[in-house]
Amino acid sequence: MDSVPLSDRTASAPGSKPPLPVKIVIAGGFGVGKTTTVGAISDIAPLTTEAEMTEVAVGIDIPGQHSTKTTTTVAMDFGSVAIDAGVKLYLFGTPGQSRFGFMWDDLARGALGALVVVDSSRLDDCYPAVDYFEHTGIPFIVGVNAFDGLLAQDLAAVRWALAIDDQVPVVAFDARDRRSVRDTLLVLLNRALHKAIGEQVAAT
Amino acid sequence: MRILGGSDAEEPASIRPYLKASSLSPSGDTPNKASNVGSEASGAQLRPFVLTSGRVTADPEIGLETQVTAGSRGGRVPTSRLSPELRAIVTLCAQPISVAEISARLKLHLGVVKILVGDLRATGYLDVHNHDVSSPNSPELILRVIRGLSAIV
């Protein structure tokens, strides 16, 4: 991650118009393939940003009070995709722990939707994420990462085990494969589109 | 500050004294009394609250994906009077960049970056391009993303 040489920076006009940023949250438990998912489609190698629990404690803890949580680090991997000349899509991968509540709200605010990545052999990892997105009303789908093309359980069993709404798509995908990730994100975006159109109709 | 070692080389070779900015950022003082916040953050050279002068509240309008660019002063006015962290942020913002990317590239906590970016906006070094995230995403925008993503092969 070397920074761009100065000559390259000055080549493009400073103050060039920034793109309109949109974002999708990639959620799930540890080791389910979130970073792989981001890396498969991102234009840049995934970057990692770290926030200590002090970050999470912003707005929650009373200032000045002693906190014992400051050494816990939340690492977030993210990438981006240039959609067109004016829109840039950010993909934020986030750990699935419910105790990082503040982090999630910050992350999810304004998101187009969320992809909850699931390892079909460890379904319980994704419950906090499913709960969170059901609760906040953010459009989401469940993507079962098919490690080596194998699913430990079929999709109907995953849907049953997670007890999610019939309208929430559950798809199998390969987190390593660019097209597979693209198609999975398109399923999510179509879900988000239906929801947005529905809200627009309801508002008129 | 290991992570900022390269920033000096990116400064203009010599800055005439009379061109130097006279104003300091608001985060000038280092509060020592705030040391009851907690144990030292692992991996960071300076405790986050030192970099932010003890402040923990960032502008809620500044999100992870919020785009930041060099402001009216950022391109020309020397940043040599700024702290190394602030100078590094201004240098990165020569091209539009997201808050999350600033955090990742400078290895600074997200919360710290948000506060420092807010400071740099207040002093005119940076422009922060807020978008109205409170309104739901429009079908037109989602369709635009679908079209763009579909074009990926």
pLDDT in tens, A146-192: 877 777 778 999 999 999 989 999 999 999 999 999 999 999 999 99
Q: Answer whether B117's CB lies under 8 Å from B99's CB.
A: yes
Q: Answer whether A24's CB lies under 8 Å from A140's CB.
A: no
The 10 Å Cβ neighbour count of residue A123 is: 19
Q: How many domains does chain A have?
A: 1
Q: Do the Cβ atoms of A18 and B67 come within 8 Å?
A: yes
pLDDT band per the 50, 70, 90 thresholds, residue B15: very low
Q: Do the Cβ atoms of A9 and B109 come within 8 Å?
A: no
Whether this prediction's pTM lies above 0.80 is answered by no
First to last CA, chain A: 48
In a domain, residue A11? The reply is no
In a domain, residue A128? The reply is yes
Q: pLDDT averaged over chain A? A: 80
Which one has a higher pLDDT value, B114 or A127? B114
- Specify the CATH number for the domain of residue A57: 3.40.50.300
Q: Do the Cβ atoms of B37 and A54 come within 8 Å?
A: yes
In a domain, residue A15? The reply is no
Tally A–B CB contacts below 8 A.
Answer: 181
pLDDT at position A9 is 39
pLDDT band per the 50, 70, 90 thresholds, residue B75: low
In a domain, residue A14? The reply is no
Tens digit of pLDDT for each residue in A140-155? 999 999 877 777 778 9
pLDDT band per the 50, 70, 90 thresholds, residue B82: confident
Residues present in chain A in total: 204
pLDDT at position B146 is 97
User: Which residues form the domain of A28?
Assistant: 20-203
